[in-house]
Amino acid sequence: MKVAWLLLALAEVVADVSARVDALRPRMRAVNQAVWSYAEPGLEEFRSSTELIDWLKDNGFVVREGVAGMATAFVASYGSGEPVVGILAEYDALLGLSQEAVPYRQPRKDPLVVAGHGCGHSIYGTGSAAAAIAVKQLLEARRLQGTIRLYGTPAEETVDAKTFMLRAGLFDDVDVVLNWHASDRSRAGFDYSKAVTAVRFSFKGLPAHASTSPQQGRSALDGVELMNVGANYLREHLKEDLRLHYVITDGGGQPNVVPPVASSWYYVRANRHEDVEAAYARLLDIARGAALMTGTEASWIVEGDSHEVLPNRGLAQLIQRNLERVGPPRFSEEELDFARKTQVGITPLPGKPLADAIEPLPPEPGQLASSTDLGDLSWRVPAGSLQVAAYTLGGPGHSWQVAACTGMSIGEKAMEVAAKVLAASAVELLTDPAAVAAARQSLREVRDPRSFTSLLPKDARPPARIRKD
């Protein structure tokens, strides 16, 4: 394998896979437009996953569909033997972010489309699939050993799909995983994410006529609301990096009936998982207290639990080299004008509409405010990532600006850059044992001094769907 790598200079690899990605551009853009237009929420990405699966099958991949108990999860493989390099793909949309591909806020005209790609997952999944196809073509053309896999991971926004796939053994033989994400900047990923736990609370009371016999009722909604009050008072006594957010998912049926059932959905986040664990324990005490105050019964279930992503120095350095060789997206005047119009209301206003440079790799890992279900996987398998400027500079994540830009050429140019960097990085890992060894060593250095505890029950299974009718 080392001999094979010596025959493949890094610059030559980048040029080779870049040409292959360029040749895939028409299909890439067609697939992105399809996935973007479907805008399917987590675990409902039936058409979106099919777009990617059909494309991969057309290019000689063997695909296992419906894996780990999720109908829209899949694993596509090509090649044989070691090493095994995985590339992750996401394709779920966000509810409440329906958006046309225009430089102002305007929901889609189709009233049935209530979600939108406000996190850029349409270009994420498409770019990752293109990278895997380019790597497959190079392995085939040069008769190189190794296995490239594309992991279709649904419902990143709402379900720990990658954790369920990890628990199902789908990553047991993988040496390294690579991924990317849309951003307002271009950089190799060398950060911790936040850890996050998702938990659903349910309260049960007694129904009664709210006017003639209120004394007979026990309001489950009162339990939910008092719990929320307690959680909000708890905020004053949490560490600065800890976050609590919730929604009421069921508040009763009508005002003249004391609600016998009510429910809420909480996320608990912190920079480190041990702090999530402590805050979660206090949140359970608040739920118990709310039940005592209202004469109701409280129950809960942890629906998802992800540790913080562990930064990997070896992979960050490898990805940074390839990103610098590929270069950032180059935007036209029309695209700059589009992005500039989407900056209305953004404060402080950035000095330019789109990022046009690659940020340097910092000497030490940073800390992100976001979370991802990549967390647990990154504790088991070396994980490398990059971000590529795909939308308005200064634009918030989970916004209409992201959905608008990823539905047109701005996001698609970022998608092409990401595909080239992922493909070049995968080929380097497939052909250079020292690169894989460096990634493994980087993981051990960060992970081994720490302990791993999951709040997700061992017998947990992914839900059939997220939206409740």
Query: DSSP character for 253?
Result: S
- Confidence band (pLDDT; 50, 70, 90) for 53? very high
Residues listed for the chain:
469
- Confidence band (pLDDT; 50, 70, 90) for 467? low
pLDDT number for residue 158 = 87
Kindly report, residue by residue over 165-219, the tens digit of the pLDDT. Answer: 999 999 999 999 999 999 999 999 999 999 999 999 999 999 999 999 999 999 9
Q: In what order do the strands lie in the sheet with 74-80?
A: 62-65, 74-80, 146-152, 84-89, 176-183, 383-389, 187-188
- 8 Å CB contact between 74 and 53: yes
Q: Where are the alpha helices (DSSP H) in 247-374?
A: 273-294, 313-326, 333-342
Indicate the average pLDDT of the chain. 95
pLDDT number for residue 11 = 78
What Cα–Cα distance (Å) separates residue 299 from each residue in 202, 204, 223, 331?
5, 9, 11, 52
């589009």: which residue's tokens?
338
Q: Is 68 helix (H, G, I), strand (E, B) or coil?
A: helix
pLDDT number for residue 449 = 94
Residues 6+ apart with CB under 8 A from 373: 153, 156, 159, 160, 161, 162, 163, 304, 306
pLDDT at 261 over 90: yes
Burial class (CB in 10 A: 0-12, 13-18, 19+), 264: buried
- Structural domains of the chain sorted by starting position, each given as residue range(s) with its CATH number in brackets: 2-190+311-447 (3.40.630.10), 194-306 (3.30.70.360)
Kindly report, residue by residue over 299-351, the tens digit of the pLDDT. Answer: 999 999 999 999 999 999 999 999 999 999 999 999 999 999 999 989 999 99
């006594």: which residue's tokens?
237
- 8 Å CB contact between 226 and 290: yes
- 8 Å CB contact between 296 and 219: yes
pLDDT at 6 over 60: no
